[in-house]
Amino acid sequence: MAQRSCPKCTGPVEEGFILDVAQRGYLQATWLQGSPEPSFWTSLTLKGKTRRPIVTLRCSRCGYLESYAQDALPARTLAWRPLLIAGFIFLIASLLAVALLVQRAPR
Ligand SMILES: [Zn+2]
pLDDT band at 73 (very low <50, low <70, confident <90, very high): low
Q: Cα Rg for the chain, rounded, in angstroms?
A: 23
What's the CA-to-centroid distance between 52 and ligand 1, angstroms?
Answer: 25
pLDDT band at 1 (very low <50, low <70, confident <90, very high): low
What's the CA-to-centroid distance between 57 and ligand 1, angstroms?
Answer: 10
What's the CA-to-centroid distance between 92 and ligand 1, angstroms?
Answer: 55
**pLDDT tens across 6-60, in order?**
999 999 999 998 888 877 789 889 999 888 899 998 888 888 888 899 999 999 9
- Ligand 1 (single-atom ion) residues, CB below 5 Å: 6, 8-9, 11, 59, 61-62, 64
